Amino acid sequence: MDQLVFDTIFCRAVIQWERGYRAQAAVLMDSLDPTRVRQRLENPSGLGTEAPRVAREILEESGRSTRDREEVTVTPPPHPKGFHLDNPDPLLQYLAHPNSDPMRLDAISSPEIWGLVALAALAHDERENPFDVAPHGLTKPERFANAVGFFQVIGRESSILPEQRSRTVKLTRIDDYRQVETAAKRVSQLLVPEQSDMEDVRKMVFYVVVELLRNVLQHSMDDIGAILAAQRMNRPGEERTSFQIAVADAGIGIHASLAEEHPDIETAGEAIQEAIRPHFSGTFAEGFTGGSQNAGMGLFFIDEMAKRTGGRLLIASRGASVLSTGDPEFKRNHSISKRPPYPGTLVVFELPVFEDLSYDGLIHVIQNKAMEQMPSRVSENWIRFEDPPEHAFRCMVNVAAENTAAAEEFARKTILPRIVDRTPVALDFRNLTICTQSFAHSLLFEALRVAWALKVPLYVQHARPMVKSSLELVQNYALRG
């Protein structure tokens, strides 16, 4: 755990305690390595005058003194034999244990891409204490790891073998919003080639990658950013091909990221369950429908996609993990199982591929489910999907479809000033084939509320069906009672 991540969790535990949420504070403090807690208390530079005193109070009153905890010796788990999403527990347990031996890739049978992503996020050579990976040789799993860029992304010298371009997207570090759309396009186009007729599958893959990477960059506080990779795979005994997309970081985890706005969440498991609810985020409090750049809909949409396509979604974070498995018979049933934690946040999305998938139809169903949970006060549609009057201010929406900060800035500098001047605004969306709910939210959430209050119409032109649907959903909750 890097120092910034450690200090963030430490300070959020202190804040929780001072706000009266003592059980929650104890859980956060207990997630930290006791030796490092003691060392930080001995050298409290940068923590302020009260934080060390409060931290000692947390440890004493919760019965978790660092000395008591250090005396407890836990036997490291056995080395995993495989990286399989069917049973992620062996790898998660191994990575979460501070005394595990170096990872030996030669001992892994048929490694799936998610396992390499989970390991790479912790083993990066820029970490203060990277997870140890044994020197690699020429066994089949080591050659596979080498071919998909594992050793390169963690900073090891290696002669990279030709990438298996038709079936894998090599491990990539993403630490800037400007990389997100390019990465999402590369993943979606390599997994679903342009010449195929599965355009809807490609749209879904793009949507998932954008949302997962945006979550890391916005919430994790990991300076290294995200590790991303994807794989097209055929498991023995399964008729359908599956796409597996994995994103991991070694940041503060979901529980700590929610603590400031949602201090009543007591456990990491509860935090994950809350994170997949619509309109729930660490950027705004319970009862609100969004912050300036976040609608709290990303994980909700991805979870629903997995459930409704017979796919799987693993969300593993500090303190807890949850694996959701959709019903392959498509009867709307799904199962949820608790799994071991991960020292950061790891999200794995697996989508069975079938050519008759309707992305537009699936997103529409999920949007309707979200809208069912938020009654609206609008009895009319404030966005007008029609030609604007001559005097309307017209502008082309050319902001990158994943950049929520740029979308918010575009709204603040271009759209809102015209609305305040009571000038109708016409937005042309012809250049966007798809936009995430987070992007639509950042662009129009505040603009809609101001336009409704001042009775200034908003016009939208050339919006494709699913872009239109995303804008309508923002309208619904932006103007709700």
Looking at residue 67, what is its pLDDT? Answer: 46
Give whichever of 68-72, 103-107, 353-357, 473-477 has the largest mean pLDDT: 103-107
- Residue 393 — pLDDT band, cuts 50, 70, 90? very high
Distance CA(480)–CA(339), nearest Å, equals 37
Looking at residue 196, what is its pLDDT? Answer: 63
Residue 167 scores a pLDDT above 70: yes
Residue 421 scores a pLDDT above 50: yes
- Residue 76 — pLDDT band, cuts 50, 70, 90? confident
Residue 374 scores a pLDDT above 50: yes
What mean pLDDT is reported for the chain? 80
Looking at residue 354, what is its pLDDT? Answer: 67
The packing angle between helices 465-478 and 359-372, to 10°, is: 10
User: 156-160, 445-449, 473-477 — which is least confidently predicted?
Assistant: 156-160
Buried b (16+ CB within 10 A) or exposed e, 109-148: eebbbbbbbbbbbbbbeebeebbebeebeeeebbebbbbb
Token pair belonging to 159: 């002669």
Architecture of domain 89-366: 2-Layer Sandwich (3.30)
Predicted TM-score (pTM) of the model is 0.74
Q: Which residue has the tokens 């990286």?
A: 83
pLDDT tens figures, 211-220: 888 888 888 8
pLDDT tens figures, 220-254: 888 899 999 998 887 766 667 788 999 999 998 89
- Residue 262 — pLDDT band, cuts 50, 70, 90? confident
Residue 284 scores a pLDDT above 50: no
Residue 85 scores a pLDDT above 70: yes
Radius of gyration from C-alpha coordinates of the chain = 23
Residue 313 scores a pLDDT above 80: yes
Q: Closest by alpha carbon to 167, among 154, 148, 141, 146?
A: 148
Looking at residue 315, what is its pLDDT? Answer: 92
Looking at residue 428, what is its pLDDT? Answer: 92
Which CATH code fits 375-478?
Answer: 3.30.750
Instruction: For 23, list phi and psi in degrees, rounded to 5.
Output: -65, -40
Looking at residue 166, what is its pLDDT? Answer: 63
* Backbone φ/ψ region at 55: left (φ over 0), alpha (ψ -120 to 50), beta: alpha
User: 335-349, 356-370, 395-409, 423-437 — which is least confidently predicted?
Assistant: 356-370
Looking at residue 156, what is its pLDDT? Answer: 80
Residue 426 scores a pLDDT above 90: yes
User: Can you tell me the mean pLDDT for 37-65?
Assistant: 77
- Residue 368 — pLDDT band, cuts 50, 70, 90? confident
Q: For 68-117, give the DSSP string.
A: HHHT---PPPPPPSB--TTS-HHHHHHHH-TTPPPB-GGG-BS--HHHHH
Looking at residue 70, what is its pLDDT? Answer: 47
Residue 183 scores a pLDDT above 60: yes
Residue 16 scores a pLDDT above 90: no
How do the domains of the chain map onto residue ranges?
A: 3-70, 89-366, 375-478
